[in-house]
C-alpha cells in the first residue's frame, strides 16, 4: 500500500463513470449521476484498498461491500466487471429481463450479499456482518456506501447507534454527500459538519474529505480499523462529477443521458480513463474458516401431554435446545427478551446474542447481515413491532435472506395491554414476503419442532407465538413438516371443518366438545403452517364435510388465516366462513376479548349452528 498508483485509480474512476453512463443510456433509465459522485470512492475501495479475491466474491474472509445507495447499481456492476469477474460488454444489458444486472442490486449476482434500493438499510446489515466477523474471529471489514439523502432514514441512526455501542471498528461507512436528492437539494447540502456531529454523537470516528480526491481517500482508508470506534468517511462530492455540463446540477436524479449527451460526457472522461483489469488487489488473510455446518440433529423434547406452556416460552426453550446443538444459531432481540423468552438463549450463549435495544428495523438488518454470513439468526420481539421493520423484511425477501423472525404477544389474547401491543396484522404482513414461510403453533411440542425446521430451512421464516399458556396436545415424537396441518378431531358424518391455529385451536376443540353433545360433529384442523398452507389436508377434510370450512383466528379478518384458506380453496368451490377480529379491540381480560370479538368457543358454536 506504500506505492499507490493515484493516477491509475483516478483513471479507473473515470472508466467506471463511462460504464455507468453507457449502461444507463443503453437502458434508457437509471441513475448515472448518482454513480458519478461515488466513482472515486468505489475505485479507491475496489482497486486500492479492500482485501478480497475478485475471482471468488463469496470467499469467507473477503472484505464486504454494501451499496446502501442501491440506485448507483451500475457503478457497482462496473467495478466488478473491471475486476474481471464478467465481461464489461455485459454492462450494456443493464435492466434487461435477460440480465441479472438489475435496476438495483440483488443477490442473484454472486458479488451482492443483500438487496439494496430501499434507502437507509445497508448500514444495519453491515452492523450484522461486522458483529459476525467478530464472532467468527475473522478480520474482514465491512464497507457500507450510503447516500446523503438516505441519512434522513431513522434506520441509519439505529444502526449507527448499535455500531457505536458495540464499538465496531471493523465497520466503515462512507457517505457520498453529493448535496442533491431526488426532488430537491438535501436538507444539509454540503454542510458536512452536520453529519460529523451526528455520527460523533452516535459514537463514531469521523473523517471529512473531498470525495473526488483519491489521495485523501487513500489516506483516510489507510487508517481504517484504528481505535475502537466505527469509522465514517464523509465524502464531499458532486452529483454527476466528471461531466462538466451536468455535475452539481438539479434535475438529474434518475435520468440517463441522451445518446448525444453521453457522447459529450464520455469525450470528457475518456482521455484519463484507465482499466481496472489486471491490477493487483490486496488479498484477504487466510484465517480459519468459520464452521457453519448444520448439525446432524437436535436433542429430544421433554414435554408431557397436558403441560401448560405458552408457545412463546416453548420458543425460548427451543432456541436454547436447538441453539445448543447448532453453532450457526445466533439470536437478537429488541429489549423484550424476558417476554419473548429469547433470554434463555442469551443467558446460556451471550456471545451469540445481540441485544439490539428498541430498534426493530436495525434488528432485522443485523439478522440479515448474520444470515448473509452463513449464520442462522433468530430475531424476536412482540409480533406487532415487526411491523416497524416491514420494509427491512420485504427487502430481506428480495435478498433471499436466511433469517428467522419470532413474534410474540399476538392477538386480543394478550389482554390488558390493549391494541397497541396486539399483533393483529402480522400474518397479513408476513404472507406476501417473497419466499416466506409463516408458522403458527398451538402447543409447545409443535413450537419446538417448528423451530428445528426453521433452523434447517434456508429462507425467511416467521413464527407466531402466543402469550397465554396452552396445554401440550401433541406427543414429543409428532412431526410437523413445514406446509403441513394436523387433523386433530374428526368423525364420520362431521358437518363442517373448523380450521384454527394458536389459541383458537383450543377454542375450536372446546366448541367441538360442546357441539358433539348437541349431536353435531365437526372436523378440527390445526393449521400450524399458514404459508405454505396444507391446502390438500384442508380440502380433503372439506370435501368430507359439505364443502364447508370455518376459519377462526386471533388476527384481523384481512390477510390472515381466513384469507389464506379462502384464497387457496375457493377455486375448488369450498365455502369458507371467517371468524376473525373485525373491529379495533379494547383492553380487557383475554377470555373476555376472545368472546367480545367473536373468536371463542361460543362464537364457533354459534357459527357452526348457523351453518348446519
| Shortest Cβ 478–a second copy spacing (Å) | 28
8 A C-beta contact, residue 468 and residue 431 = no
Task: Give the N- to C-terminal CA distance of the chain in Å, as an integer.
Answer: 81
Cell of 517: 353433545
- Return the biggest CA–CA distance within the chain: 90
586, 595 Cβ separation under 8 angstroms: no
Q: Which one, of 293, 205, 553, lies nearest residue 413 by Cα?
A: 553
Letter string b/e over residues 174-206, b meaning 16 or more CB atoms within 10 A of that residue's CB: bbbbbbbbeeeebebebebebbbebbeebbbbb
- Rounded to whole angstroms, how far apart are CA atoms 269 and 256? 16
Catalytic residue among 360, 425, 448, 553: 360
Q: Residue 557 CB, nearest distance to a second copy (Å)?
A: 7
> What does the alpha-carbon distance between residue 464 and residue 450 come to, in Å, rounded to a whole number?
11
250 is catalytic: no
Name the minimum Å distance from CB 559 to a second copy. 4
Beta pairing class for 437-439 and 376-382: unpaired
DSSP-derived letter for residue 423 is B
Measured from the CB of residue 145, what is the shortest distance to a second copy in angstroms?
A: 16
46 contact partners, CB below 8 Å, separation of at least 6: 65, 79, 80, 82, 83, 276, 281
Residue 538: its H or E element = helix 535-544
Q: How far apart are CA 92 and CA 74, in angstroms?
A: 10
Beta bridge partners of 363: none
Distance from C-alpha of 206 to C-alpha of 228, rounded to nearest angstrom: 12
- Judged by beta carbon, residue 12 or residue 430, the one nearer a second copy is 430
Report the DSSP pairing between strands 486-489 and 329-333: unpaired
Residue 173: left (phi > 0), alpha (psi -120 to 50), or beta?
A: beta
Shortest Cβ 243–a second copy spacing (Å) = 21
Closer CB to a second copy, 120 or 468, in the complex: 120
Closest to 465 in 3D by CA, of 336, 579, 377: 336
Query: Based on CB atoms, which residue is closest to a second copy, 62 or 380?
Result: 380
**C-beta closer to a second copy: residue 184 or 283:** 184
d(CA 67, CA 113): 10
Nearest-approach distance from CB 507 to a second copy, in angstroms = 18
* Residue 577, φ and ψ in degrees, nearest 5: -110, 130
- Find where cell 360433529 sits: 521
Least distance (Å) from a second copy to the CB of residue 303? 25
Task: Centre a 10 Å sphere on the Cβ of residue 508 and count the other Cβ atoms it contains.
Answer: 32
Q: 360-372 and 122-135 helices cross at what angle (nearest 10)?
A: 50
Comparing CB distances to a second copy, the nearer of 154 and 297 is 154
Which residues have a catalytic role annotated? 360
Amino acid at each position: 500500500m506504500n506505492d499507490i498508483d493515484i493516477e491509475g485509480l483516478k483513471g479507473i474512476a473515470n472508466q467506471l463513470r463511462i460504464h455507468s453512463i453507457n449502461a444507463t443510456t443503453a437502458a434508457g433509465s437509471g441513475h448515472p449521476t448518482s454513480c458519478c459522485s461515488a466513482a472515486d470512492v468505489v475505485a479507491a475501495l475496489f482497486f486500492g484498498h479492500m482485501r478480497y479475491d475478485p475471482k471468488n466474491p463469496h470467499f469467507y474472509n473477503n472484505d464486504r461491500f454494501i451499496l446502501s445507495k442501491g440506485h448507483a447499481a451500475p457503478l457497482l456492476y462496473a467495478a466488478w466487471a473491471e475486476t474481471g469477474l464478467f465481461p464489461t460488454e455485459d454492462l450494456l444489458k443493464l435492466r434487461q429481463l435477460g440480465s441479472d444486472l438489475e435496476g438495483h442490486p440483488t443477490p442473484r449476482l454472486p458479488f451482492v450479499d443483500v438487496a439494496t434500493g430501499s434507502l437507509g438499510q445497508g448500514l444495519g446489515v453491515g452492523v450484522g456482518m461486522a458483529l459476525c466477523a467478530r464472532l467468527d474471529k475473522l478480520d474482514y471489514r465491512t464497507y457500507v456506501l450510503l447516500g446523503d439523502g438516505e441519512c434522513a432514514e431513522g434506520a441509519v441512526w439505529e444502526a449507527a447507534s448499535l455500531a457505536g455501542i458495540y464499538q465496531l471498528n471493523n465497520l466503515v461507512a462512507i457517505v457520498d454527500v453529493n448535496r442533491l436528492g431526488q426532488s430537491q437539494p438535501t436538507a444539509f447540502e454540503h454542510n458536512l459538519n452536520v453529519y460529523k456531529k451526528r455520527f460523533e454523537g452516535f459514537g463514531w470516528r469521523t473523517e471529512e474529505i473531498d470525495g473526488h480526491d483519491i489521495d485523501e481517500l487513500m489516506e483516510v482508508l489507510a487508517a481504517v480499523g484504528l481505535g475502537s470506534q466505527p469509522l465514517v468517511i464523509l465524502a464531499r462530492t458532486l452529483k454527476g462529477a466528471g461531466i462538466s455540463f451536468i455535475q452539481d446540477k438539479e434535475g438529474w436524479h434518475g435520468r440517463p443521458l441522451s445518446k448525444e449527451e453521453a457522447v459529450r460526457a464520455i469525450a470528457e472522461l475518456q482521455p484519463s480513463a484507465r482499466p481496472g483489469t489486471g491490477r493487483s488487489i490486496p488479498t484477504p488473510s487466510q484465517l480459519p474458516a468459520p464452521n457453519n455446518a448444520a448439525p446432524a440433529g437436535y436433542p429430544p423434547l421433554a414435554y408431557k401431554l397436558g403441560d401448560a406452556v405458552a408457545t412463546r416460552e416453548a420458543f425460548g426453550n427451543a432456541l436454547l435446545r436447538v441453539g445448543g446443538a447448532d453453532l450457526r444459531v445466533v439470536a437478537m432481540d429488541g429489549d423484550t427478551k424476558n417476554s419473548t423468552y429469547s433470554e434463555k438463549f442469551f443467558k446460556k450463549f451471550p456471545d451469540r446474542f445481540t441485544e439490539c435495544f428498541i430498534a426493530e428495523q436495525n434488528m432485522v438488518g443485523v439478522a440479515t447481515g448474520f444470515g448473509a454470513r452463513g449464520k442462522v439468526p433468530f430475531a424476536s420481539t412482540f409480533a406487532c413491532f415487526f411491523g416497524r421493520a416491514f420494509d427491512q423484511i420485504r427487502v430481506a425477501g428480495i435478498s433471499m435472506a436466511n433469517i428467522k423472525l419470532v413474534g410474540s404477544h399476538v392477538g386480543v389474547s394478550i389482554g390488558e395491554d390493549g391494541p397497541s401491543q396486539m399483533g393483529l396484522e402480522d400474518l397479513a404482513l408476513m404472507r406476501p414476503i417473497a419466499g416466506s414461510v409463516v408458522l403458527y403453533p398451538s402447543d409447545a411440542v409443535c413450537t419446538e419442532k417448528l423451530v428445528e425446521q426453521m433452523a434447517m430451512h434456508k429462507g425467511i421464516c416467521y413464527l407466531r407465538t402466543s402469550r397465554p399458556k396452552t396445554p401440550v396436545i401433541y406427543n414429543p415424537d409428532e412431526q410437523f413438516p413445514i406446509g403441513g396441518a394436523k387433523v386433530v378431531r374428526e368423525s364420520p358424518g362431521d358437518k363442517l371443518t373448523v380450521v384454527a391455529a394458536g389459541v383458537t385451536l383450543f377454542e375450536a376443540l372446546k366448541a367441538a366438545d360442546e357441539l358433539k353433545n348437541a349431536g353435531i360433529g365437526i372436523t378440527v384442523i390445526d393449521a400450524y403452517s399458514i404459508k405454505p398452507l396444507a391446502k390438500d389436508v384442508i380440502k380433503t377434510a372439506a370435501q368430507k364435510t359439505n364443502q364447508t370450512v370455518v376459519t377462526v383466528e386471533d388476527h384481523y379478518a384481512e390477510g390472515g388465516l381466513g384469507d389464506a384458506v379462502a384464497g387457496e380453496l375457493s377455486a375448488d368451490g369450498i365455502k369458507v366462513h371467517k371468524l376473525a377480529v373485525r373491529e379495533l379491540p379494547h383492553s380487557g381480560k383475554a377470555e373476555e376479548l376472545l368472546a367480545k370479538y367473536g373468536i371463542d368457543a361460543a362464537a364457533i358454536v354459534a357459527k357452526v349452528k348457523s351453518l348446519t
